[in-house]
Amino acid sequence: MEDLATQGTLIGRVALGAFLGYAIGFERELRGKPAGERTFGLLSLGAAAVTAVGVLYFPASAEKVIAGVVTGVGFLGAGLIFRERDEEQGALVLGLTTAASSWAAAALGILAGAGVYFSAVIACVMVLVILEVNRLPLYRRIAGRVRHEDGSDTPRYGTTAYQIRDEEHRTGE
């Protein structure tokens, strides 16, 4: 009976990790980013599963399991970062927020897998607030507008949205 209870705990931790990762992925998908809800859900699910197995079945070496997850996700995140050449602005680095979000989703999976449920949920809310804060009207008022060399200005939305809006502004769309 104890083994069934342990498996139930494992399933609950993995499910929470998957749900929290999915929530972050939903936000990324909503913003049109290449990595979306399935990617983030699977990433967080995997981190939760590996961590939960390490914590429940190998407690003496759980920190090594967690370190392996963090290292692996770091390599995955590095693959999400791209560098593009732009004739007007020079080199642009894209994907930093998606890479950081994937790392945060894995951290949520680790928290859920370790059984720190409340902290995992609060951390997920914090990640979503960080990803969405620049879209709030109050933030736009505080951040103001960005002046260009030609004297025009555009609203500051954040790095990626700013570049998209700036391109629309320049072309007059």
| Residues 108, 160 share a domain | no
What domain range includes position 151?
136-173
Place of tokens 């607030």: 129
| Residues 154, 72 share a domain | no
Whether 43 has a pLDDT exceeding 70, the answer reads: yes
Per-residue pLDDT at 164 = 44
| Residues 151, 71 share a domain | no
Confidence of residue 48 (pLDDT cuts 50, 70, 90): very high
| Residues 113, 57 share a domain | yes
Q: What percent of the chain has pLDDT over 90?
A: 54
Cα separation, 65 vs 151, whole angstroms: 54
Residue ending a domain, choose from 105, 127, 149: 127
Confidence of residue 1 (pLDDT cuts 50, 70, 90): low
| Residues 156, 118 share a domain | no
Contact 10, 114 (CB under 8 A): no
Count structural domains, the chain. Answer: 2
Per-residue pLDDT at 157 = 53
| Residues 44, 98 share a domain | yes
Confidence of residue 114 (pLDDT cuts 50, 70, 90): very high
**What type of residue is 123?**
A
| Residues 122, 143 share a domain | no
H-helix or E-strand spanning residue 168: helix 159-171
| Residues 87, 169 share a domain | no
Whether 140 has a pLDDT exceeding 90, the answer reads: no
| Residues 152, 117 share a domain | no
Burial profile 65-94: b = 16 or more Cβ within 10 angstroms, e = fewer: bbeebeeebeebbeebeeeeeeeeeeeeeb
pTM of the model: 0.77
| Residues 69, 52 share a domain | yes
| Residues 140, 94 share a domain | no
| Residues 114, 75 share a domain | yes
Least trusted range by pLDDT, from 9-13, 21-25, 63-67, 133-137: 133-137
